[in-house]
Amino acid sequence: MAWVLATAPDSSLRDGGTAVELVESVASASGHANASVLRVLAAAYAESGRYAEAIGAAEEALQLAARQGNSAFAENLRFSLASYKANRPLRDPGLVDSAGVP
């Protein structure tokens, strides 16, 4: 749910504050050891305008993905990281159907 709230192309579906609330506890509970959770946390921070924290979470996720040998996920994280460094939140085009409807 936090991913949708942070990255939906439709602004009426986004709520960065709620996304952060949802995923921060999950990230803490996992000891910041899950790259997928950290990716969602980074996106939530970015949606909330907290770009420095988004960059930190994305960099943590990237390091984990690289250590796990997940090069495709690492590449995706590099793309996200570039957005955050440019002070741009992430949008997931996969959250729109083929007709362009969320």
Return the residue matching tokens 């990716």: 39
Domain definitions of the chain by residue range? 2-91
Fold designation for 2-91: 1.25.40
**pTM exceeding 0.75:** yes
Residuewise pLDDT in 10s, the chain (102 residues): 999 999 999 999 999 999 999 999 999 998 889 999 999 999 999 999 999 999 999 999 999 999 999 999 999 999 999 999 999 999 998 886 555 555
Measure the CA–CA gap between 11 and 5, rounded to whole angstroms: 9
